[in-house]
Amino acid sequence: MGFFSGLEGSLEKYIEGFFRDKFKGRVQPLDIAKKLAREMRERKRVSVNLVYAPNEYEVYLSTEDFASISYLSGALSGELQDYLRQKAGEKEFTLVSDPRVKFIEDEELKPGSIRVSGGFGGDGEPKGMDFENTLNYRITKDTSPLPVIGQKSSCYLEMVEGPLAGRIIRLYDYPLVMGRRDSCDLVFQDESVSRRHAMLEPRQGKWQLTDLNSTNGTFVNGERIRNRIMETGDTVKFGATVCVFKVD
């Protein structure tokens, strides 16, 4: 699949050889690839049945760095697009159209700096009820790192009351932090929910719900909890939100 088709170690090997000889600026292709992969994870959207990954990416570079890659920008864009397709496959994300990577000069950036922006555009904006019921579901520094390949579990949250009523949140094999803060994985626009309210995380084949010292508390089956191993059918309430933990 090209220079970015292997594991991280292979990426390093390719860059130290072919790419490092051709890129004289402070920015290296592996740095760009890592930022693109992170943007894909942070901007994905979770629907009832699928996890969608952005299809359009803009890479902003300083004037100096933009000039240093300009003669190879077309080839590099193609390699990075292949890399993103591979990453989407590893994470079991859905790409509705081929990813596109565009380089943009930003005069305000310092040499060596990279800014990446990802989104859904053109033919990559999924249509229909499935996408209308999606949620921004982001992975951040506050949660544990993603495994090499994110596996979808058989567990999910059915939202029955509150701002997200009627939606299904599938759980994957990494923690889900819920709260009002924008950096949470699942964000609630509800003033009665704390900024970092609660967390669901896999524990030895089960899921544990932990209250993160919230102001108004987290309740399971009507009882305020600090932490609880979840069972199918358990009803969870925080703020105006009520959801049911279920297992397929």
Least confident of 23-27, 73-77, 159-163, 196-200: 23-27
Beta-carbon contacts of residue 61 (< 8 Å; ≥ 6 apart)? 27, 69, 103, 104, 105, 106, 109, 113, 114
Q: What is the pLDDT averaged over residues 79-84? A: 90
Domain contains 10: no
Q: Do 110 and 180 lie in a common domain?
A: no
**CATH code where residue 115 lies:** 3.30.2320.60
Residues 28 and 109 in one domain: yes
Q: Are residues 186 and 112 in the same domain?
A: no
**Range(s) of the domain holding residue 182:** 155-247
The pTM (predicted TM-score) of the whole model is 0.50
Q: How much is the average pLDDT of 209-218? A: 94
Question: Are residues 163 and 231 part of one domain?
Answer: yes
Please check whether residues 108 and 193 belong to one and the same domain: no
Given 75, 98, 119, the domain boundary residue is 119
What is the band of 5 on the pLDDT scale with cuts at 50, 70, 90? very low
- 145 domain residue, yes or no: no
* Residue 17 falls inside a structural domain: no
Percent of the chain past pLDDT 90, that is, above it, reads 30
pLDDT at residue 171 in the model: 86
CB of 124 closer than 8 Å to CB of 96? yes
> Does one domain contain both 106 and 162?
no
pLDDT exceeds cutoff 60 at 23: no
Can you read off the two tokens belonging to residue 123? 């033919």
**Whether the predicted pLDDT of 52 surpasses 90:** no
Number of domains the chain contains: 2
- Classify residue 14: in a domain, yes or no: no
Q: Is residue 69 part of a domain?
A: yes
Domain match, 164 and 224 both: yes
Residue 71 lies in a domain: yes
Same domain, 63 and 109: yes
State mean pLDDT over 77-85. 90
The answer, yes or no, to whether residue 17 has pLDDT greater than 70, is no
Higher local confidence (pLDDT), 140 or 84 = 84
Query: Bigger pLDDT: 3 or 189?
Result: 189
Last residue of a domain, one of 119, 145, 172: 119
**Average pLDDT, integer, range 108-128:** 74
CATH of residue 181? 2.60.200.20
In a domain, 100, yes or no: yes
What was the pLDDT predicted at 138? 45
Residues 166 and 240 in one domain: yes
Higher pLDDT, 47 or 85: 85
Instruction: Judge contact between 54 and 97, C-beta under 8 A.
Output: no
Looking at every residue in the chain, the average pLDDT score rounds to 79
Which of residues 243 and 78 earns the better pLDDT score? Answer: 243
133 pLDDT more than 80: no
